[in-house]
Amino acid sequence: MKNNFWEPRFEALATYNAEVARGIIHRIQYVLKMEALQKEYNEKRKLSPV
């Protein structure tokens, strides 16, 4: 079940994190984009009621 802070755009982040865990290497531009999205996701999660 997805939490209330989840947004469809975070699907790309989930895929990226799974690929990194499997050792897939990405272009630096994509890594930077995902780092920014990860930061935004973390902030939303902090503000979300449990």
**Does residue 5 form part of some domain?**
no
pTM confidence score: 0.81
Domain that holds residue 29: 10-47
**Is 15 contained in some domain?**
yes
The number of folded domains in the chain is: 1
In a domain, 24, yes or no: yes
Rama region for 14: left / alpha / beta (φ>0; ψ in -120 to 50; rest): alpha
pLDDT value of position 5:
72
Q: What is the per-residue pLDDT for 3? A: 59
Domain-embedded: residue 32: yes
Task: Examine residue 2 and state whether it is found in any structural domain, yes or no.
Answer: no
Give the whole-angstrom CA distance, residue 48 versus residue 42: 10
String of DSSP letters for 5-35: T--TTHHHHHHHHHHHHTT----HHHHHHHH
pLDDT digits (tens, 9 = 90+) for 1-50: 455 778 899 999 999 999 999 999 999 999 999 999 999 999 988 887 76
Tell me if 3 is assigned to some domain: no
Instruction: Evaluate whether residue 4 is within a structural domain.
Output: no
